[in-house]
Structure 1
Amino acid sequence: MSNLNYKHLYYFWAVAKAGSIARASEQLHLTPQTISGQLSLFEQTQGETLFRKSGRNLALTEAGRLVLSYAEDIFALGQELEEVLHHRPTERTLQLRVGVSDAVPKIVAYKLLEPALQLSQTLRINCREGKFDILLADLAAHKLDVVISDSPMPATTKVRAYNHLLGESSVSFFATSALRQQYPADFPACLDAAPFLFPGEDAAMRSVLQQWMDQQGLRPRIAGEFDDSALMSAFGQAGAGMFAAPSVIADMVMRQYDVNLIGSTDEIRERFFAISVQRKLTHPAVLAISHAAQGSLFRASTPSDPSTATHPVGNKMSDEEM
């Protein structure tokens, strides 16, 4: 690949954002012929086709999407440099591009990211939520700095990245007052035959939760399955079923969703990871997240009411980093 011509890259970026050469030419005050010629030259020098026809517009090829992701970063940094030189000569905004797996509870995601907001340096967070495999692909393409997940990266994934354990929590169970009154038995017997809201199949806790219930001889009625933990909690708030969440956020779950804690167990441990392309974390914001998680967030992960807790049975997963 030849040396990159940033003028050509800028024309490419403008057309990609505008969706057509005609609209880009109006914005740049250049003739369509000029932009078309520069684009053709850019594709020739890079040896890749970056656009394909899509009706009257242009659509990006796979190579074009990759180039656009880098162009976005390059010109965003250029704009940031201009702002720093003209408005904040002593301060540079720190960028954090983080992907959060949709299986991670929203409250946990916020608690994990909150320490980054306490940095003395001005921070701009670009937070994306999505399916774990899609986020890993974006991480591999350097579109993200880190991915927060409830499971480590699978060994079969063809992505060169590393798992960094942030911490783990016991699991607590919640229900509205009205629903709890319908199933008054002590915990965990109160779960038997009760309507229960399960995490989706992609959630790491799903299989562990089902295994624990089988060991306890519990057969709850599946009232719903949810990929989105916040939606599951909202249904729980409406009384559609009992549900589980990490004990580390039990107090916040009770306040936010107006539900009661009905029990907790150390026999289920939910783990949270930061996944990065670096073996050693170096991004200041990611380091702040990691240090806070390991130092205080997960230190006490069991609710304060001991009467609702079951005892560990020794099936805690290893803390060894994968």
Structure 2
Amino acid sequence: MPGETNSQSYQWLNYHHLLYFYTIAREGSIAKASEKLNVGQPTLSTQLKQLEESLGKPLFERSKQRLQLTEAGRIALEYAEQVFNLGAEMVEVLQDQLQNNRVHVQIGALDSVPKDITHKVIMQAYKSGNCNVSVIEGSGDQLLRELESHHVDLLLSNYVPSLDFKTVYSKSIAKLPVVVCASEKYKHLKKNFPQSLEGQPFVVPTVHSRLRREIDHYFKVNRIKVDQVAEIQDTSLQTLLGAEGVGLIPVADAVAKKLTKDGKLIVLGTLKGVYEEIWLMAANRKIENPIAAQVMKEFSLS
């Protein structure tokens, strides 16, 4: 009977087999996957072999250095990612419905995003409906993976993801002018700004950020050579180094207002035409988080 044929065709696809394959592919080796899953290497090798035999195709090319995905392996990995993302989404949706009828909204924010913007997004979530909000901070790639796997509903970032994150979409919510801040000992550089920056030490963002590219372009166009003494991703650490006089720091004016109010730093001048752009991001989902979807649609700083 047709029903029996369909049932038999699905018997071989074991969820654990798929999980082991997925982890081996992500980690790059059976040894690393074994550590992550706390499962013995012989067991993983056996389970992987059984999955390959069921599929009738090898999923990896074996080499001494690293396992390389075959074409079949790359296709299988794409489907496995969808399976586990959908599983995580299902668990989150079901758990959210049990939390006092409140929708749970998880917001990720890069350290470099001004806290007042994160605060406004949180307030927009509360305005959108009865919800419970969690906020986590971290690095860009880490939070993007959390967003894509549905562990985070919304993400605030100062750069857009690469093409590797195909399920993520975004909208620009702010373009903040950028100023140069420094400790009091550099106050003489206010005069003849920005030419006064020639040869001065700078604590700049890391090369992954859009702001870093804008700053480098600004100095090139204006023929100003600065001494980049440090590259920092965490703006809190960048601020500490600036306050201690290690170097000058370029930051969004919204951040600078708080720093100068606290008396930690002074503003030397504005880098005309340079902006820190902030993006609000979400990921495509089978079942949308209603609060997150509304925030994504309606949030605006204007």
Does residue 162 (structure 1) correspond to residue 181 (structure 2)? The answer is no
CA contact (8 A) 2:128 2:295 kept: no
Which of the residues 190, 193, 209 maps onto 1:187? 193
Q: Which residue of 1 aligns with 2:54?
A: none
Sequence identity percentage: 15
Is there any run of 5+ residues in structure 2 with no aligned partner, and where?
A: 1-10, 21-32, 45-76
Does residue 101 (structure 1) correspond to residue 110 (structure 2)? The answer is yes
Distance across 1 between alignment mates of 2:177 and 2:37? 55
Pair 1:226–1:290, CA change in 2 (3 A) = farther
Which of the residues 93, 115, 136 maps onto 1:128? 136
Distance across 2 between alignment mates of 1:55 and 1:179? 49
Distance across 2 between alignment mates of 1:136 and 1:56? 22
Q: Deviations over 1:23-82 (max 9, x none)?
A: xxxxxxxxxxxxxxxxxxxx98854335786599559x99799488457526633652xx
Which of the residues 148, 154, 164 maps onto 1:146? 154
Pair 1:56–1:278, CA change in 2 (3 A) = closer
CA contact (8 A) 2:153 2:282 kept: yes
One-letter amino acid matched to 1:76: Q
SS in structure 1 at match of 2:301: helix
Distance across 2 between alignment mates of 1:217 and 1:56? 53
One-letter amino acid matched to 1:232: Q
TM-score by length of 2: 0.64
Distance across 1 between alignment mates of 2:301 and 2:184? 34
CA contact (8 A) 1:153 1:163 kept: no
Q: Deviations over 1:92-120 (max 9, x none)?
A: 32311222234x33435534534336527
Count how many residue pairs are aligned between Structure 1 and Structure 2.
238
Which of the residues 279, 288, 301 maps onto 1:294? 301
Which of the residues 223, 226, 232 maps onto 2:229? 223
Pair 1:95–1:257, CA change in 2 (3 A) = farther
Pair 1:177–1:232, CA change in 2 (3 A) = same
Q: Deviations over 1:149-182 (max 9, x none)?
A: 212233x33512322111211111111112324x
Q: Which residue of 2 aligns with 1:37?
A: none
SS in structure 2 at match of 1:224: strand
Distance across 2 between alignment mates of 1:233 and 1:116? 28
Q: Which residue of 2 aligns with 1:87?
A: none
Is there any run of 5+ residues in structure 1 with no aligned partner, and where?
A: 1-42, 85-91, 296-322
Q: Which residue of 2 aligns with 1:240?
A: 246
One-letter amino acid matched to 2:110: S
Q: Deviations over 1:164-214 (max 9, x none)?
A: 111211111111112324x45322123222211100111110011011012
CA contact (8 A) 1:100 1:109 kept: no
One-letter amino acid matched to 1:48: H
Cα distance, 1:265 vs. partner?
Answer: 3.1
Distance across 2 between alignment mates of 1:144 and 1:112? 17
Which of the residues 183, 189, 210 maps onto 1:176? 183
Distance across 1 between alignment mates of 2:280 and 2:159? 9
SS in structure 2 at match of 1:218: coil
